[in-house]
Amino acid sequence: MQRILITSAIPYINGIKHLGNLVGSQLPADLYARYMRARGHEVMFICGTDEHGTPAELAAAAAGIPVAQYCADMWAKQKRLSDRFQLSFDKFGRSSSPQNHRLTQYFAERLAENGLIEEVVESQLYSKADGRFLPDRYVEGTCPDCGYDRARGDQCENCTRQLDPTDLIEPRSAISGSTDLEIRETRHLYLRQSALRERLEEWIASKDDWPILTTSIARKWLHDGDGLRDRGITRDLEWGVPVRRGERPWPGMEGKVFYVWFDAPIEYIAATKEWADGEGLEDAAWRSWWRTDEGASDVRYVQFMGKDNVPFHTLSFPATIIGSGEPWKLVDYIKSFNYLNYDGGQFSTSLGRGIFMDQALDILPADYWRWWLLSHAPENSDSEFTWENFQVSVNKDLADILGNFVSRVTKFCRSKFGEAVPGGGEPEDRERALIAELETRVAAYQRHLEAIEIRKAANELRAIWAGGNEYLQDAAPWSVFRERPERAAAIIRFSLNLIRLYAVLSAPFIPDTATKMMKAMRAEDGLWPKDIAAALASLPPGRSFTVPDNLFSKISDAERESWQKRFAGGRE
RNA sequence: GGGCCUGUAGCUCAAUCGGUCAGAGCAGAGCGCUCAUAACGCUUUGGUUGGGGGUUCGAGUCCCUCCGGGCCUACCA
């Protein structure tokens, strides 16, 4: 048995996440967590919300409620949706938690003591009307190059030129439109990542088994220009972790908070403490996952994230960990994902284009989405959701291959032998052949899941399901029954056992359906099969079962078309 | 501008270190079956691997170049 620590990138607090966000980190992380638990490993699976920063403050202001209240409400919504998607987090924490405040301040203190924090006075645009400093992209104006009048302070979207806010002609606040802007000096803390460059480079170089997407992004940042740059880790905001040096105030930093990207990854650790506190456990319980000197030396730590998160997880967060000078656990493997696009374009939260987690569950149960998203996970390049593709996958894989197999076996048994596992007959060559095939396939399935090759695992699982139909077609119990009813009984007993086996193997992908299948078979033993032959003899003759309702409904053309229209843009 | 990823059958994707005839699923065609959600099974059509050039006994894979798609580029997160 191994101890496996799994974190999914924590979604930003604003709004309901779309399916692209879901498949980019939380869902594959859940698949891996469920699989590893099923194999008997001890798993700690952590996620939460990333609550700080300018967008949260603005959204709360727009909604006319205090930002703390706004975040609490949004956290509850996101938590509820995670639960409904069966994301099996051990803790869905909050980066605004007191635990994270203390840990963030603690790490900052450690970094300062190790000479890795520098105070820098910089000039930034300040908006008097908004009463806040404006990040570059919150400044709008006319592009000096192309004359586009809605260029942002970081880049002109029209001509793609990189800009400085001061380049803009007639700059204005993107928040209020106010042109009453001035340049003010402000003092900030910088993390001296440049001082850690060699250690980070060496560490990244040692990770030769990481996805190329992960390491290439890290290397780019390490080598770009003069190499890894120092990074500001504080902001002039109200909402966030107040800048303190551990327990003590930090002179000159009054009224400032840490930058979200400094405190958000620390929340992985803090959420584990939130879990321990919630369970009434001692600190040793969470520290044994994170401190290699307190029990975490045997922990394997795997992170899941979208590609936009990679620099922070390969460089900034490790810089915090390494720079602390303490034996905190560094990540062992980073699985990163490309983007899922929606029907020829990007998912867009602002335009309401695409499908959001709440809407998805309004029209179909979680397993439909889990199966499609995981079997099409954007592992090697951006991938695309289309309704046609979704319809085909659901109807073919779930309804025809798996659902129909369960249906034909249970209904045939009910009509010929009644609703109990029939006795009589013995396994013959046909059964032994399927067992041999399954041994090969299950081994491949396990290999793919262990390597976090999600689409390959899904393909293998589909082939395992299809094997049941091939077997049944070939064994043809409906013909055999007339002459040799005991042989038909053996075939059906074997097939009922296949249903149970499929439930166990499929549970990481489609947990709700797996539970239905187990219940229908009245099977309690959900342990991962060690021996396929034994697993296929586990339902004893005489054990009653129920014929379940169809496991999956097909998506009709009419439904597909109406959903296609409904989600084309303009979220209601 | 710079960096990275990507282009394989109508569609979605495979193909270890460069090594048999580039493979699956879906869609299409044909046959079979009748237990089942008009479901299942078997057979089968379909590819100048984006274009061009090069290295090699051998290239989807390596190199150059052109064309297309995407991402990142450090003060959104």
Comparison of pLDDT for A521 and A338, the residue scoring more: A521
Which nucleotide lies nearest residue A50, CA to C1'?
B77
Banded pLDDT at A206 (limits 50, 70, 90): confident
Q: How confident is the model at residue A462 (pLDDT cuts 50, 70, 90)?
A: very high
**CA A433 to chain CA centroid, nearest Å:** 38
pLDDT of residue A144: 82
Amino acid identity, residue A527? L
* Tokens (6 digits) for A334: 């980073």
pLDDT tens digits, one per residue of A275-303: 999 999 999 999 999 999 999 999 999 99
**A51 nearest nucleotide via C1' and CA:** B77
Nucleotide nearest to A237 (CA to C1'): B75
Which of the 8 DSSP states describes residue A503? H
Of residues A160 and A200, more confidently modeled = A200
Lowest mean pLDDT among A32-46, A104-118, A353-367: A353-367
- Higher model confidence: residue A191 or residue A379? A191
Query: What local confidence, expressed as pLDDT, does residue A349 receive?
Result: 76
Q: Which residue is closest to B24 in terms of CA–C1' distance?
A: A459
| Phi, psi of A124, rounded to the nearest 5 degrees | -140, 155
In percent, the amount of chain A with pLDDT more than 70 equals 99
CA A557 to C1' B43, whole Å: 29
Give the number of other Cβ atoms within 10 Å of residue A183's Cβ.
10
For chain A, give the number of residues: 572
Q: What is the pLDDT of residue A398?
A: 96
- pLDDT of residue A535 exceeding 60, the answer is yes
One-character DSSP codes across A508-532? TT-HHHHHHHHHHTT----PPPS-H
Q: Which nt has its C1' nearest the CA of A316?
A: B74
User: What Å value separates CA A15 and C1' B77?
Assistant: 13
- Could you tell me which of A42, A29, A94 has the C-alpha nearest to residue A266? A94
* Mean pLDDT in residue range A219-244: 90
pLDDT at A146: 77
b/e burial code for range A141-155 (CB count within 10 A of at least 16 → b): bbbeeeebeebbbee
CA of A373 to C1' of B51 (A): 34
Its ipTM equals 0.92
Q: Pseudo-torsion of CA A448, A452, A456, A457, nearest 10°?
A: 60
| 3-state percent breakdown (helix, strand, coil) of chain A, nearest 5 | 50, 15, 30
Which of the 8 DSSP states describes residue A96? T
Is residue A383 helix, strand or coil? Answer: strand
A394-425: pLDDT as tens digits: 999 999 999 999 999 999 999 999 999 999 98
Residue with nearest Cα to nucleotide B4 C1': A216
Output the six-digit token pair for A185.
């000096």
CA dist., res. A343 & res. A74, Å (int): 28
What's the pLDDT score for residue A403?
96
Indicate the pTM of the whole model: 0.95
- Strand ranges, E, within A66-165: 91-94, 117-127, 132-133, 139-142, 151-152
Confidence of residue A348 (pLDDT cuts 50, 70, 90): confident
CA-CA distance, A77 to A207, in Å (whole number)? 37
pLDDT category at A353 given cuts 50, 70, 90 is: confident
Residue A93 has pLDDT above 60, yes or no: yes
Our measurement of CA A6 to C1' B6, in angstroms, reads 29
Distance, Å, A385 CA → B45 C1': 28
Rounded, the Å distance between the CA of A289 and C1' of B9 is: 49
A240: Cβ contacts below 8 Å, ≥ 6 apart: A52, A53, A257, A258, A259, A260, A263
Decide: A228 and A311 in contact? Cβ < 8 Å: no
- pLDDT at residue A117 tops 80: yes
> Which tokens go with A30?
């859940």
A217 CA: nearest nucleotide by C1': B4
A224: nearest nucleotide, CA–C1' criterion: B3
Measure, in angstroms, how far nucleotide B7 C1' is from residue A498 CA: 41
Please report the pLDDT score of residue A569 as a whole number.
62
pLDDT in tens, A493-517: 999 999 999 999 999 999 999 999 9
Taking residues A69-74, report their average pLDDT.
97
In Å, what is the separation between the CA of A384 and the C1' of B7? Answer: 15
C1'-nearest nucleotide to the CA of A311: B74
What is the spatial distance between Cα A393 and Cα A368, in angstroms, rounded to a whole number? 9
| pLDDT at res. A572 | 40
Of the listed ranges A305-309, A528-532, A549-553, the least confidently predicted one is: A305-309
C1' (B54) to CA (A213) span, angstroms:
29
pLDDT at residue A224, rounded to an integer = 79
CA separation for the pair A374, A25 (Å, rounded): 11
Strand, coil or helix: what is A496? Answer: helix
Q: Are A323 and A191 in contact (CB under 8 A)?
A: yes
> Which of the nucleotides lies closest to A125 (Cα–C1')?
B75
- CA A413 to C1' B27 (Å) is 34
A571 pLDDT above the threshold of 50? no
Query: In angstroms, rounded to a whole number, what is the distance separating the alpha carbons of residues A559 and A334?
Result: 38
Q: What integer is the mean pLDDT of A49-70?
A: 94
Chain B footprint positions (protein CB, under 7 Å): 1-7, 11-14, 24-27, 32-37, 39-42, 69-77
- Residue whose CA is minimally distant from B25 C1': A459
Lowest mean pLDDT of A146-160, A329-343, A350-364, name the range: A146-160
Looking at per-residue confidence, does A88 or A380 come out higher? A88
Q: What is the pLDDT of residues A247-278, one digit of tens each?
A: 999 999 999 999 999 999 999 999 999 999 99
- Give the mean pLDDT of chain A: 92
Is a pLDDT exceeding 90 seen at residue A570?
Answer: no
